[in-house]
Every structure is written in structure tokens, then in C-alpha cells.
Structure 1
Amino acid sequence: MLPLTERDIRASFLNASRKEASDLSLPPGFADLAWDRLEYLGWTDPRLPRRSYAIVELESGPAGVLLQQAEQRVIARAQCSWCDDVTLSNDVQFFSARKAGPAGRKGDTIGTLVCANFGCSAVVRRLPPLAYEGFDREAARDERIRRLGEHVRAFVQALQA
């Protein structure tokens, strides 16, 4: 992911009002982020614990979404829809997002299950276990990294539809 400034972040939101974008808290450690190790930037607002944000790079530039965390935690162990984590080492949370434009103003939303701590980029960079003799673990890791970016972009693009 390309490095973003605070101004880039606030201007990137597709489904947030200007007030919501101006009121957001930047992610902890923002100045020290390893941008080259992120497929997207996701965080929970420390002032509003049920409000989260995710930003991904699209062809047109950075696209941010405001996410609302479900009131109840996921009871069963679920799989993250973005990173496809099969080890289930992270808690997964249901997030909904208002659609952009007229559909969002009517109240249309879409939802997804995502790692509660938005640690997907770290999850996909772990070498997978050896599935069989001759299994190319590095190629499998590269594929998981590629798919993560694809899944997040698809979610954000669905908000625009």
C-alpha cells in the first residue's frame, strides 16, 4: 500500500459524511506504519469503540470505508472473509458498512466478517504449514497476500454499486 497522509485518509471515505471523516481518530502508531507490509489500513476508533475504518488502494486512488461493529460478538469461531485465515488465531467480528451515494442515504448496507484487530496483512504473511511434500509455501503466501487485497477491494467496490 502507498503511504497516506492524514489529509489523504480524511478525503478517501466513500460512505462517510465530511463531519464523520473530520472527527475520526487516526490509527495508533500512524507515524510508524510499515506501509509496504499492508494491503489495507484498518483500525478501530479509540473514542468510538464500535466504529472502525478501512482504506484500500484502488486504481482511482485510496478508498476508505466507515464500518460499524455489530453489538454482539460472533459466538462461533468464524473465518475472516478478507484474509481467509484458517488457523483462526484472531477473533473475527461482523462489520456493516453503509453503501455510498443514494443507496446509503436510503439505509442500504453490506456486511462482512473481518479479523477484529484488522491484522489480516500480518496473517497472510505467515508461511502456511507444509500441506504436502513439494508444496511451495512462498508461492502460497504470495497468493494469500494477493487474495487479501482482492477481497478488500471487492468489498469497497461493492459499497459503490
Structure 2
Amino acid sequence: MRDVTETELRSCFVNATRSELEQLPMPGLHETIWAEREFLGWRDPRFRRLGYLVHWRGDELVGLVVRGAPGGMRPGIAAMCSLCHSTQPATQVRMFTARLADLDGDTGSTIGTYICEALDCSHIIRTGPPVLLTSDRIASRSAALLERVTRFTARVERAVREAR
């Protein structure tokens, strides 16, 4: 992922209302290792259920506001993130929904998917036994992750446009 600025971030969300953009908490942009990210994901420190996903689609920065479901899955079982396809304890995967909203408001509908609780899929695909972390395997997982993130954001963006 290429680096981004605060101004770019505030203007890229396809499903944010004006009030959400005004209150948007910024992640530590200067602390980010951009070369090891397919997308930038972070949680809102004030409203723990809120999260943000941002990625480059060609030369366009695209972002989503997502909301974690209350509660979570039952401990003791495994779950798979639909973005990075990593199997983890169910407590580390959560249903996130993207509201179909625009700057003027919310339609009341959502689109959801299971995502890593910390929105850290870019990190997850780069961890594991060293024997499995070849550069080819990481590149393959990286491309697949970016494709799935792009499909999810495109699906939300299309639904927001249709809902207007």
C-alpha cells in the first residue's frame, strides 16, 4: 500500500456521514510500514465497535466505515476471516457491517462479513512458521487479500449508489 495523508483519508470514505467524518480518529500514519499493508485498518478508540478500512484501488483511495457486531462468537471454536482467510480462535474474528450511508444519511441497510477483530489482516498474512513464510507465499496471500478487500468495498460502494 502507498502512504496516505489525513486529508486523503477524510475524503475517501464511500459510506460515511458528515458527522462520522468530523469525528474520524486518525491512525498513526507516521508509524505505519506501508510496504507491509494491503489496506489500512484501525478501530475507533472512543467507540470500540467502529472500525475503518482504507485501500488503494489504482490511483483512488477507497474507505469504509465498519461496525463490529455486539458480542462475538462462542469461545473454543475456530473461525475464518473472510478477507485474509486465516483461521483463528472465534474470539479474534467478528462480524463487521458496512452501513449503506452517504454524506447526507443512512438508508438503514448494511452489508456484512467476518473480519479479524483488530482489522490487522495485513499483519496476520505475514505471521506463522518461518518455513511457510516464503516471499512467494506472502506475495500470493497479499494479492488475494487485496482482491477480497477490493471486492468488499466495491460491493458496498455499488450498494450505496443504488440506495440513493
Inter-partner Cα distance in structure 2 for 1:8 and 1:24 = 12
Residue 141 (str. 1) matches residue 142 (str. 2): no
Which has a greater percent of strand?
2
Task: For structure 1, list consecutive stretches of 5 or more residues without a partner in the other structure.
Answer: none
Inter-partner Cα distance in structure 2 for 1:116 and 1:55 = 16
- Secondary structure of 2:78's counterpart equals coil
- Secondary structure of 2:54's counterpart equals strand
Query: Residues 29-51 of structure 1: CA distance to partner in whole angstroms, max 9, x if unpaired?
Result: 33211111110001110011111
* Structure 2 length-normalised TM: 0.83
Could you tell me which amino acid in structure 1 is paired with residue 57 of structure 2? L
CA deviation after TM superposition for structure 1 residue 94, in Å:
0.8
Query: Residues 52-76 of structure 1: CA distance to partner in whole angstroms, max 9, x if unpaired?
Result: 1110111251111000110111224
Tell me if the contact between 1:54 and 1:67 (Cα under 8 Å) persists in the aligned partners: yes
Identity %: 33
Residue correspondence of structure 1 range 83-102 to structure 2 within 5 A: 83-86=84-87, 88=88, 91-100=92-101
What's the C-alpha RMSD, in Å, of the aligned pairs? Answer: 2.2
Could you tell me which amino acid in structure 2 is paired with residue 3 of structure 1? D
Aligned to 1:151: 148
- Secondary structure of 1:151's counterpart equals helix
* Structure 1 length-normalised TM: 0.85
Tell me if the contact between 1:100 and 1:160 (Cα under 8 Å) persists in the aligned partners: no
Deviating above 6 A after TM superposition, structure 1's stretches of 4 or more consecutive aligned residues are none
Inter-partner Cα distance in structure 1 for 2:130 and 2:100 = 38
